Structure 1
Amino acid sequence: MKKVLPIILVLVVVAAVFAWSRFQEPASNDNILTLFGNIDIREAQLTFNASEHVNKILVEEGEQVTAGQLLASLHQELFQSRVAQEEAQVEARRQQMIKLQAGSRPEEIDKARAELEAARARAEAAHDTWQRLQTLAAKKLASREEVELARSNAHASQAQVAAARAALRLLQAGPRKEDIATAKADLKAAEAALRVAHKNLANTELRAPANGIIRTRILEPGDMASPLKPALTLAFANPVWVRAYLPESLLGRVKPGMAASIISDSYPQKKYQGWVGYISPTAEFTPKNVETPELRTRLVYQVRIFACNPQDELRLGMPATVEIDLQAPTTAIPDCK
Structure 2
Amino acid sequence: MLNRSIPLSVAVVGLLALVFYSQWNREPPRVSGFIEADEIRLGSRVGGRVAVVHVQEGQEVTAGEVLVEFEPYDLLEREKELELTLAARESEYQRFLAGFREEETAQAKAKLDQLQARSDLLIAGPRKQEIQAARGRLAQAEAEKRLAVQGFERLSKLAGSNATSQQELDAAREALEAATANLDVRQQELDLLLAGTRAEELREAAARVEEARQAWQLMQRGYRQEEIDQAKASRDAAKAALQAIGRQKEELRVKSPIDGTIEALDLQPGDMVAPGAPVLSMLDRGNLWVRSYIPQNRVGMQLGQRLRLNVDSYGDRTFHGVVTFIARQAEFTPSNVQTPEERSKQVFRIKVAIENEDGMLRPGMMADVWLDEHGGAP
Q: 1:56 aligns with which of 52, 56, 66?
A: 52
Conservation of the 8 A alpha-carbon contact between 1:47 and 1:226: no
Q: 2:69 aligns with which of 64, 73, 80?
A: 73
* The 10-residue stretch of structure 1 (202-211 or 116-125) with the greater mean CA deviation from structure 2: 116-125
Structure 2 match to 1:300: 347
Per-residue CA distance 1:237-272 (angstroms, 9 max, x = gap):
1321222222223434x4444433323232225332
Structure 2 match to 1:287: 334
Query: Does 2:133 align with 1:86?
Result: no
User: 1:123/1:43 Cα in 2 relative to 1: closer, same or farther (>3 Å)?
Assistant: same
What CA distance in whole angstroms lies between the structure 1 residues aligned with 2:127 and 2:271?
Answer: 85
User: 1:285/1:188 Cα in 2 relative to 1: closer, same or farther (>3 Å)?
Assistant: same
Where 1:266 maps in the other structure, the secondary structure is helix
Displacement of 1:215 in angstroms is 0.5
Q: How many residues align?
A: 295
Where 2:213 maps in the other structure, the secondary structure is helix
User: 1:91/1:228 Cα in 2 relative to 1: closer, same or farther (>3 Å)?
Assistant: closer
Runs of 4+ residues over 6 Å off in structure 1: 129-140
Query: Does 2:318 align with 1:271?
Result: yes
Displacement of 1:288 in angstroms is 0.8
Q: 1:142 aligns with which of 188, 192, 195?
A: 188
Structure 1 match to 2:150: none
Query: Does 2:308 align with 1:312?
Result: no
Structure 1 match to 2:29: 33
Per-residue CA distance 1:218-244 (angstroms, 9 max, x = gap):
333222223442111011113212222
What CA distance in whole angstroms lies between the structure 2 residues aligned with 1:159 and 1:323?
Answer: 99
* Structure with the higher fraction of residues in helix conformation: 2
Conservation of the 8 A alpha-carbon contact between 1:93 and 1:183: yes
User: 1:279/1:30 Cα in 2 relative to 1: closer, same or farther (>3 Å)?
Assistant: farther
User: 1:116/1:279 Cα in 2 relative to 1: closer, same or farther (>3 Å)?
Assistant: closer
Superposed counterparts of 1:164-203, under 5 Å: 164-203=212-251
Q: 2:299 aligns with which of 241, 251, 262?
A: 251
Larger C-alpha radius of gyration, 1 or 2? 2
Per chain length, whose mean CA-contact separation is higher, i.e. which structure has more relative contact order (CA < 8 Å, sep 6+)? 2
Query: Does 2:205 align with 1:209?
Result: no
Displacement of 1:196 in angstroms is 2.1
Query: Does 2:236 align with 1:240?
Result: no
User: 1:162/1:277 Cα in 2 relative to 1: closer, same or farther (>3 Å)?
Assistant: closer
Per-residue CA distance 1:129-188 (angstroms, 9 max, x = gap):
799799999998229xx899x845565444333332332222222222222222222222
User: 1:274/1:176 Cα in 2 relative to 1: closer, same or farther (>3 Å)?
Assistant: closer
Question: Cα RMSD over matched residues?
Answer: 3.7
Conservation of the 8 A alpha-carbon contact between 2:302 and 2:323: yes
Displacement of 1:120 in angstroms is 4.0
Question: Is there any run of 5+ residues in structure 2 with no aligned partner, and where?
Answer: 1-23, 139-182
Displacement of 1:213 in angstroms is 0.8
Where 2:45 maps in the other structure, the secondary structure is coil
What CA distance in whole angstroms lies between the structure 2 residues aligned with 1:138 and 1:163?
Answer: 39
Conservation of the 8 A alpha-carbon contact between 2:308 and 2:373: no
Q: 1:110 aligns with which of 106, 111, 120?
A: 106
**AA paired with 1:186?**
S
Conservation of the 8 A alpha-carbon contact between 1:130 and 1:154: no
What CA distance in whole angstroms lies between the structure 2 residues aligned with 1:313 and 1:289?
Answer: 24
Question: Is there any run of 5+ residues in structure 1 with no aligned partner, and where?
Answer: 1-27, 329-337
Where 1:325 maps in the other structure, the secondary structure is coil
Structure 1 match to 2:369: 322
Conservation of the 8 A alpha-carbon contact between 1:218 and 1:230: no
Displacement of 1:279 in angstroms is 2.6
Per-residue CA distance 1:279-299 (angstroms, 9 max, x = gap):
322211121179xxxx77432
State the TM-score, normalizing by the size of structure 1: 0.73
Conservation of the 8 A alpha-carbon contact between 2:37 and 2:289: yes
Structure 2 match to 1:23: none
**AA paired with 1:32?**
P
Q: 2:42 aligns with which of 41, 46, 52?
A: 46
Displacement of 1:126 in angstroms is 6.1
Conservation of the 8 A alpha-carbon contact between 2:96 and 2:228: yes
What CA distance in whole angstroms lies between the structure 2 residues aligned with 1:121 and 1:206?
Answer: 73
Where 2:216 maps in the other structure, the secondary structure is helix
Where 1:95 maps in the other structure, the secondary structure is helix
Percent identity between the aligned chains? 31
* The 10-residue stretch of structure 1 (50-59 or 80-89) with the greater mean CA deviation from structure 2: 80-89
